[in-house]
Amino acid sequence: MTKLEQIEKSVAELSPEDLKAFATWFEELQADMWDKQIEADAKTGRLDKLAAQALADHRAGRTRPL
């Protein structure tokens, strides 16, 4: 049995309360990982082209208020 299969089996056996707690923890983990990836991408300049295009679109009037 692979590690992933073991995790899946364990998660499937959780009580409803524990499953809810696990889901909350996992969502927070994913959000933290996303934040770190965005931060790393911003530091390395990977988002610069997208930001420049968004600003150009806004200046050209191709955006609308939220």
Cβ–Cβ < 8 Å for 41, 47: yes
Instruction: Say which residues have a Cβ less than 8 Å from residue 9's Cβ, sequence separation at least 6.
Output: 1
The residue-averaged pLDDT of 45-66 equals 96
Q: For residue range 15-45, what is the model confidence (pLDDT) as tens digits?
A: 999 999 999 999 999 999 999 999 999 999 9
pLDDT range class, residue 2, cuts 50, 70, 90: very high
pLDDT bracket for residue 51 (50, 70, 90): very high
Locus of tokens 């200046």: 59
Amino acid at 60: A
CB of 22 closer than 8 Å to CB of 14: yes
Residues with Cβ within 8 Å of 11's Cβ and at least 6 positions away in sequence, in order, are 19, 22
Q: Which two tokens stand for residue 55?
A: 């600003």
Q: What pLDDT is attached to residue 8?
A: 98
Instruction: State the pLDDT confidence band at 64, using cuts at 50, 70 and 90.
Output: very high
